[in-house]
Amino acid sequence: MASITISRQLGSLGDEIAQIVARRLGWQVIDRELINQAAFESCSPEMALTSVDELGLLGITPSKKECQPYLQAVERILHQRAAQGSFIILGRAGQVVLRGQPDVLHIRIYAPRSVRVERVAVQQRISSEAALAQIKASDRHRRWYLKRYYNAIVDKPRYYDLEINTARLAPESAAALICSAAENILHLSPAPASRHTS
């Protein structure tokens, strides 16, 4: 069964794109659900907070030993979902944990920082300075998470089948690219036309 992982930057429209792809394919997006389930299974609420807090504002940094039960639970759930298929996995190092699986498509969604600053400022109705601070913190936390727990670098092309720059692409167009890649690489049937409408 096929699945898709999506790594995205804050302000890249990644969450919106994931939802559009899910609607077109009739799949389910998992993100916070996975964190909550892993935290429950591993009894690691502190680690769950660290994962949810992508801006790194809580200052919670459990030791690697303390994180192991949680990380193992996340990886187990990721493999379970990938085996079941028809899931879009947002974040949680899915591109690293599920790397090499032939039935999983790995996507990275990004945009230039200036574009992301403008989007975040408009979306959250905050100043450009505040938006830039959020983006820097988010980028830093994502790099830290992958490096600390998986010794991986978030923007290395080898982790992805397709990277999409959304500076000039609407979410619908980016979603169409992902669906096309899924049809070709994962050998999915084309999404029914009815699913292309919102």
**What's the CA gap between 38 and 78, in Å, rounded?**
10
pLDDT digits (tens, 9 = 90+) for 133-150: 999 999 998 898 889 888
Q: Which residue has the tokens 């936390």?
A: 141
Q: What is the mean pLDDT of the chain?
A: 85
pTM: 0.84
Q: Which residue has the tokens 């990004």?
A: 110
- Rounded to 5 degrees, φ, ψ at 189 are -70, 145
Q: What is the pLDDT of residue 51?
A: 58
pLDDT digits (tens, 9 = 90+) for 87-141: 999 988 999 999 999 999 999 999 999 999 999 999 999 999 999 999 999 999 8
Strand residues in 13-103 grouped as ranges (E): 28-30, 87-90
**What's the CA gap between 38 and 25, in Å, rounded?**
26
Q: Where are the domains of the chain?
A: 3-28+85-196
CA distances from 124 to 119, 152, 196 (A): 8, 31, 28
Q: Helix, strand or coil for residue 109?
A: strand
Q: What is the CATH number of domain 3-28+85-196?
A: 3.40.50.300
